[in-house]
Amino acid sequence: MAILETNNLRKQYILGAHAVDALAGVDFVVQKGEFVAIMGPSGSGKSTLLHLLGGLDKPSDGEVTLAGQALSMMDDNEVTLVRRHHIGFVFQFFNLLPTLNTEENIALPLIIDGKKLRDYNDRITALLELVGLSDRRYHKPDQLSGGEQQRVAIARALVTEPAMVLADEPTGNLDSKTGAVIMDLLRTSCDEMDQTVIVVTHDARAASYADRTVFLRDGCVVREIVCADIIDPHQRLSLIMEAVESLQI
């Protein structure tokens, strides 16, 4: 079943006399439970696509359909609620609130939704265990390493048990070992919670965790590599590396 679909998705930014076609007609379908990576050169439209998929921004033309519902048919409030209840976001710069401790940062999407932290103790305990931060529950972000902060951000993205997780370069500021931990976490939540995961990345190694990698160039999808049936991680990586080299990303 398709959880997400775009039709002829376009985004044009106008700056003075200049128009930039950040997305120039993207048709993209993601199945429920699929793990998709998006790669492409800097400026190819990856973040723009992720923002449109998550209803953080509106297309200039075309449509995003989420679980059968066209985002353009909803008003801003409805889009906000869909986003809050069904989508978890992870950004490159963890976006944690400095005054909140780990459990409060994780619970933030629930608190924003008017829920009480104490009613979700068990869920937060389980998430802390999942991301390996049970002993950092009361630490503030500045008392955590970059990798730990990113794991908090992932737990926060999962706390509403969203159908879909959208991550923009979640390993961009981490060393390769910590990056692998983060990708493992996303892979696990996809496999065990039937979550749909879409990750923008510059890193072929990160993309090799995905079932499918979509390559963007100049706002268009130019290639797709399906890895779902390839078990050998080296083979997955070399297929993606080949595409990266041939597309000169």
Ligand X SMILES: Nc1ncnc2c1ncn2[C@@H]1O[C@H](COP(=O)(O)OP(=O)(O)OP(=O)(O)O)[C@@H](O)[C@H]1O
160 binds, among ligand X, Mg ion, none (CB under 5 to 8 A by kind): none
Q: Closest distance between Mg ion and the C-beta of residue 16, in Å?
A: 22
With respect to ligand X, which residue has the nearer C-beta, 45 or 109? 45
Token readout for 184 is 């493992």
Q: Rg of the chain over CA atoms, in angstroms?
A: 18
- For binding to ligand X (CB under 6 A), which residues are involved? 13, 15, 20, 22, 40, 42-48
With respect to ligand X, which residue has the nearer C-beta, 28 or 120? 28
With respect to Mg ion, which residue has the nearer C-beta, 47 or 201? 47
Contacts of 62 (CB under 8 A, 6+ apart): 6, 7, 8, 9, 10, 25, 26
With respect to ligand X, which residue has the nearer C-beta, 53 or 107? 53
201 binds, among Mg ion, ligand X, none (CB under 5 to 8 A by kind): none
43 binds, among Mg ion, ligand X, none (CB under 5 to 8 A by kind): ligand X
Long-range contacts of 108-114 (CB under 8 A, 24+ apart): 108/156, 108/159, 109/84, 109/156, 109/159, 109/160, 110/159, 110/160, 112/84, 113/84, 113/85, 113/160
- For binding to Mg ion (CB under 5 A), which residues are involved? 47
User: Is the Cβ–Cβ distance between 199 and 36 less than 8 Å?
Assistant: yes
- What is the distance between the alpha carbons of residues 142 and 97, in angstroms, rounded to a whole number? 10
- What is the distance between the alpha carbons of residues 144 and 161, in angstroms, rounded to a whole number? 24
Q: Closest distance between ligand X and the C-beta of residue 10, in Å?
A: 12
CA angle centred on 174, ends 88 and 193, rounded to 5°: 30
Q: Closest distance between Mg ion and the C-beta of residue 186, in Å?
A: 18
Q: Closest distance between ligand X and the C-beta of residue 222, in Å?
A: 13
Q: Closest distance between ligand X and the C-beta of residue 191, in Å?
A: 27
With respect to Mg ion, which residue has the nearer C-beta, 12 or 69? 12
User: In the block, which residue shows the tokens 């400095």?
Assistant: 98
138 binds, among ligand X, Mg ion, none (CB under 5 to 8 A by kind): none
With respect to ligand X, which residue has the nearer C-beta, 50 or 225? 50
Q: Closest distance between ligand X and the C-beta of residue 4, in Å?
A: 17
